[in-house]
Every structure is written in structure tokens, then in C-alpha cells.
Amino acid sequence: MKKVISTERIPIKLWLDDIEEGALEQARHLANLPFAVHHVAIMADSHEGYGMPIGGVLATENVIIPNAVGVDIGCGMCAVKTSLTEIDQASLKKIMGEIRKLVPVGFDHHKEKQDESLMPKVEGRYEIVDREYQAALKQIGTLGGGNHFIEIQKGSDGHIWIMVHSGSRNFGLKIAEHYNKEAVELNNRIFSIVPKKWDLAHLPTDSKEGQMYIREMQYCVNFAYANRKLMTDRIMSAFLDVLPGVTFEPMINIAHNYALLENHFGKNVWVHRKGATLATRNTIGIIPGSQGSKSYIVRGKGNRDSFQSCSHGAGRKLGRRQARRTLNLEEEKLKLDKQGIIHTVRGVKDLDEATGAYKDIGIVLANQEDLVEILVELSPLAVIKG
């Protein structure tokens, strides 16, 4: 931990020195919520989000906050270690070409509905899940856009790895928007003391709306996992098409946008992790870098001060528009070309996901040595971005 701010209703514990003013103001809002418990934890990759900073961890009693989970519910990482210890450029390019045929990216979906057995089981009635389910049959196994990616990497353990970052596609967005709107209307009716401009409207967990949000949020977490698993299965099939005989270890999976009922400091509380990863003792996690920088397989240390959490990545240092305005396209391409990475930075529109748009992953890892230990360091070989 780098410092503690003790000027608000509850303390704010930070794992970074350089938090931007907007994110710090949002952290202060969290610390002054009447139902926030014990302290607020701000991870090493934190930056300003919507309502709550990305890289924030908030514990609440008897309420849940849709905007403290965010719009990509269940978004997370998965990684698979292969039996390969080397891969030549020709094979790598063939594999990437096969992956692009199998996994739609950006706004693209499958043209046909996927097998329903790939979807999480629907039990009982849902409001948004029921409405969006048929569309989701074409979305499962798709990457999405923004900072979502597929990478082929070389590990410090000598093996080639596969890594995927993706979420719940349109499910998460629709559920987040719907229940935040319900929370705003409810807070207006009960004259909530939480200022509306904070964008932190809440739902009592014992209310009909709160219970339904929890159920739909959990379905999103399960769908996001199923989405990553299907993509990973198809990426593995692309490897086998090009390099028959390769084998794969079990997939590591971990989410970083969700809320869960946990026990901390003697209380059962709803822990909201928005761009933060579970890091209980011996939990195996994944902390990706930016396009062109290293990623890490880590083991949690179970630090109670972070609500047993850690960062979910490197964290942005430039907003998307700012990156496009200020970064030099040729310099960013050269950074990747010098490393021999097959990358996706082609034009100015791609600069929002260039290496220069993100914080130094080495500093982010150093700032959370009390939260995780590094097991494997992964260097990118080839990247597909949404």
C-alpha cells in the first residue's frame, strides 16, 4: 500500500502514487457513502471511470450499486499454457489467420446462432436476460471491442501461452443500464442523501429490484465465462489445425467486474470489484499489460487491506481521445515492430490501445507486491484487438 487518506467518512487506501484527480474525487465519493463499510481500496492501475474509478474496490452493507460493477459485467481474463516451447513466425501468422475466421471481433457477431448448450443455464424468470437471450446466441464466442484482446505469448517458464480478455457483450450493457435507471428512480422516491451527480444510485439487496439485479448480474458473470471459454476452445482448435499434437493445460479464468457477498472485518458485505481482481491467498490470477508490454500470471496473498483484491491490468494513463490526439502513430508502431510483435496498430484510430496509452505495468506490479506474487511473466508475440 502506498498511502491512506483519512479525511473522509471512512479511509481510502491506495496502491498508487499518481492517481488522477477525477479518480481521486470518485474515490472520495465512495468513502462518503452512508452504507460503505470499513474503507475503500484503490488498486495500482486505477483511473477515472463512470461513477466509480476503474480499479476500485468497495464494500457495502445491504445495498448494491450497478455503476460500481459497470457495464461489462463479468468481464475478465483467461489464460492457457500450451505444450509448445517455440513457435515460428509462419506458423504464428497461420494461427492468427485461423483465429480471425473463428472469432468475430469488434461489433461483429456470428452469422448463425451458436449451440444453446454453450450458454449458461437459464433458471427461473429474468427481465433483461430473457429479452436478450436470442441475440446472445450469436454473441457468445465473440471478442467485442475496446480493450478486449487475444494474445499469443511466450512465458518465462519457456512455454507458449494463449490469453483472452473479454466480457458479457450486450448482456452486461443492457443489464447495467436498466438497473442503474431503476436505482436512480428508487433513490429519487426515497430521497436518498447520495448526490445524484455522483452516479452511484443504489438498490437495497432485499428489494425486488435488488434481488433481480443480483440474479441477472450473476448470469452475466457466467455468460462472460462461457464466452471466453468458447473463444479459447476455438483458438486451441486453430493451434491444432496448424500444429497437430500440441496439448493444453486447464484454463485459468478470473473476472474483474462484479459484486459478491463476502465476509470482511467481521461483516457480510457486498464487495464491488470494478476493474479489480480477486487475490485471496493462493488464488491464481491474471494481470495483463498493454499491447506490446508484458502480462503476468500471479498468485494472491490474501491481503485484507485490499479486500483480498489486486489490479486487473496496467490501467490507462491516457483517455481514448487523448491517446489519438497526442500519441505518435509511427513511434507506437515502431515500439511493437522492434519487439517483433504481430500487432493491430495500423492507423490513428488504433492509438487508443497503443502501448503509450497505458501505465507502466512494471510499476503497477511493484506497487502491489503485498497483494500478489508473480508466477509467470508473459511477453506478447501476436495480438488481435477488438
Q: Give the active site residues.
A: 312
Q: What is the DSSP string of 257-274?
A: EEEEEEEETTEEEEEEEE
3-state secondary structure of 227: helix
Neighbours of 295 (CB within 10 A): 27
Neighbours of 167 (CB within 10 A): 28
Beta-carbon contacts of 153 under 8 Å, excluding residues fewer than 6 positions away, are 160, 161, 162, 163, 295, 378, 379, 380, 381
Helix, strand, coil shares of the chain, percent, nearest 5, are: 35, 25, 40
Contact 40, 56 (CB under 8 A): yes
What is the spatial distance between Cα 255 and Cα 75, in angstroms, rounded to a whole number? 6
**Burial annotation 306-340 (CB, 10 A radius, 16+ → b, else e):** bbbbbbbbbbbbbbeeebbeebebeebbebbeeee
CA distances from 57 to 39, 269, 352, 359 (A): 9, 12, 25, 19
Contact 269, 60 (CB under 8 A): yes
Neighbour-count burial of 206, counting CB atoms closer than 10 A to its CB (0-12 exposed, 13-18 middle, 19+ buried): exposed
Instruction: Read off φ and ψ for residue 254, nearest 5 degrees.
Output: -155, 135
Q: 276 forms bridges with which residues in the sheet?
A: 311
Sheet of 76-81: strands edge to edge? 252-255, 76-81, 160-166, 149-155, 372-385, 295-300, 284-287
